[in-house]
Copies of this chain bind each other. A is one copy, B any other.
Amino acid sequence: MSALYDVAAIGNAIVDVIAPAQDAFLGDNGLTKGSMMLIDEARAHALYARMGAAIEASGGSAGNTVAGVASLGGKAAYMGKVAADGLGKVFAHDMHAIGATYDTPPLSGGPATGRCLINVTPDGQRTMCTFLGASTELTPADVDPRVVEGASIVYLEGYLFDPNEARRAFAKAAGLARASGRRIALTLSDSFVVERHRPALLAFIETEVDLLFANEAELTALFQTDDFQAAVEAVRGRTAIAAVTRGAAGSVIVTPAAEHFVRAAAVDKVVDTTGAGDQYAAGFMFGLARGKSLPDCGALGSMAAAEVISHYGPRPQAPLAELAAGLA
C-alpha cells in the first residue's frame, strides 16, 4: 500500500521558551550546560522569572522533526498531547500551518501545556528545563490507527518512555505499524532517558525498531561503555539501521553489513543548536521514505541540521526543500 504520510510521529507536545543566557546564569541556577532536566510547574515558574526576554515557539523533539519533514516537502502527521489553553492553541496552529495532520484531542482539567525553558549560551549550546505538563497524558486512545497504518515511517520519541500510558501508546503504534508493513523509527532522545529505561529500550529496539536515531552520548549510555566504536559494534545488528550523530564530526550510519560516514554540513556561525538532532532525523527519514540511499539520507539530515543551528529556534526558517535541491 502506498503511504499517505512520509512520517507519522508520536512525541511530547511542547512549546519552547527560548532566551539568551550567560554561562554564569547556568551555575547560579544549578543547571548543567547542554543537559535536559525535567522540572515541576513551581520550578518552571521560578526559573522563567529569572530568565532573559524570550521568544515562544512550538517545539517538542518529534514535533520539530515533523516540521522539518514538512519543510522538505514531505507529508507528515503528529500525535501528542497539549492542554486546552493558550500555548496548546499555539502548538496546534503551528502543526496545521505547516500542513501536518494533527488531531490529538487537547486535555481538559489536567496540567497545562508542556513547555521547555531553553537558555542559550553565547557558544550556541542550549540548556533545557522541561515542564512536561499535559504532554505525558498521552494514552493509547490518542494513537490513530489510520495515521499509523498510512505512514511510511512511524517515528517514536524516546522521551515518551517515561509515562506508562505513553509507553503503551508506543506498543500500540508499533503493533499497528508492524501489521501494516510500516517501518518503525525510534530516537533515544536523551542519555538520562536511556539510563532510566535501558533494559526496556534495548528490548524494544531489538523487537520493534527498524531505524534508530541516537547521538554519541545516548548510544554509549545504551551500551554502558565509554568507547564509541564499541557502542557502534554493539548496536550493529540489533536494528536494521542506526544513525548516530556526532555534532561537528558528522554522523555514522550503521547497518549489519556496512558503516557509512557522513560529514556535517558547513555552517557560517552556530547560533543555537536547539533542534539539530530533530532536523537530522527529519532529513534522514524524508530521504528514506523517498527511496534515497543511506549516505544520501545522512546528507539530507546534515543539511537540515545545519540550517536549524544557524538561527535561534528549533524549527527550520528556510524552506528545506530548496536547500535539498542544492544537494542533488
Q: Which residues of chain A have a CB within 8 Å of any CB of chain B?
A: 19-20, 48-49, 51-58, 67, 85-87, 90, 93-98, 311-313, 315, 317
Q: Which residues of B contact A98 (CB under 8 A)?
A: 52-53
The complex places the Cα of A97 from the Cα of B51 at a distance, in Å, of 6
Contact B55 A97 (CB under 8 A): no
Copies in the complex: 2
- Known contacts: A56-B56, A57-B56. The answer to whether A48 contacts B93 by CB under 8 A is yes
Interface residues of A, dominant DSSP: mixed
* CB–CB A97/B317 < 8 A: no
Nearest residue, chain B, Cβ from A312? B317
- Chain B residues with Cβ below 8 Å from A48 are 93
Alpha-carbon distance A273/B67, docked complex (angstroms): 25
Nearest Cβ distance between residue A29 and chain B, in whole angstroms?
14
What is the CB-to-nearest-CB distance from A200 to chain B, in angstroms, rounded to a whole number? 34
Best-buried of A19, A53, A86, A317 by chain B (most CB within 10 Å): A53
Given A86-B87, A87-B86, A54 and B93 contact (CB-CB distance below 8 Å):
yes
| A20 partner, pick from B86, B94, B312, B317, beta carbons under 8 A | B317
Report A165 CB to chain B, min CB distance, Å. 27
Query: Which B residue sits closest to A313, measured CB to CB?
Result: B55
10 contacts between A and B (CB under 8 A): A49-B93, A52-B97, A53-B67, A53-B93, A53-B315, A55-B313, A56-B57, A86-B86, A86-B87, A311-B311
Q: How far is the CB of A126 from chain B (nearest CB, A)?
A: 15
Say yes or no: A97-B53 contact (C-beta < 8 A), given A86-B86, A86-B87, A317-B312. yes
Complex-state Cα separation, A94 to B86, whole angstroms: 18
Closest to A56 in B: B56
Q: How far is the CA of A69 from the CA of B55 in the complex (A)?
A: 19
| Residue ID in chain B nearest A93 by CB atoms | B48
